[in-house]
Amino acid sequence: MATQIVMNQSGDARHHFDATDREAVADAEERFRQLTGAGFTAAVRTGPGDAAVTRSFDPTAEETLFFPRLVGG
């Protein structure tokens, strides 16, 4: 089961999907596009404690993390 983890003000929201379910993959890809379009950075876990930024949806990724833009001043 693949997981998309969206970091937010209250911690995170997790969205699980079955990579063999076409409809679930389509929903996950749409979520990826919406989040990255809204300015979130997407990163795929590559190992324990490691992640690599990605610019394209990968339905085979076990975990994809979404980080919001940093706002400073």
Amino acid in the structure at residue 36: T
Q: Kindly report the number of other CB atoms within 10 A of residue 49's CB atom.
A: 6
Per-residue tens of pLDDT for the chain, all 73 residues: 999 999 988 899 999 999 999 999 999 999 999 999 999 999 999 888 899 999 999 999 999 999 998 766 6
Strand partners, 67: 41
In this prediction, residue 10 carries a pLDDT of 87
Q: Does the 2-67 domain belong in CATH 1.10.20?
A: no
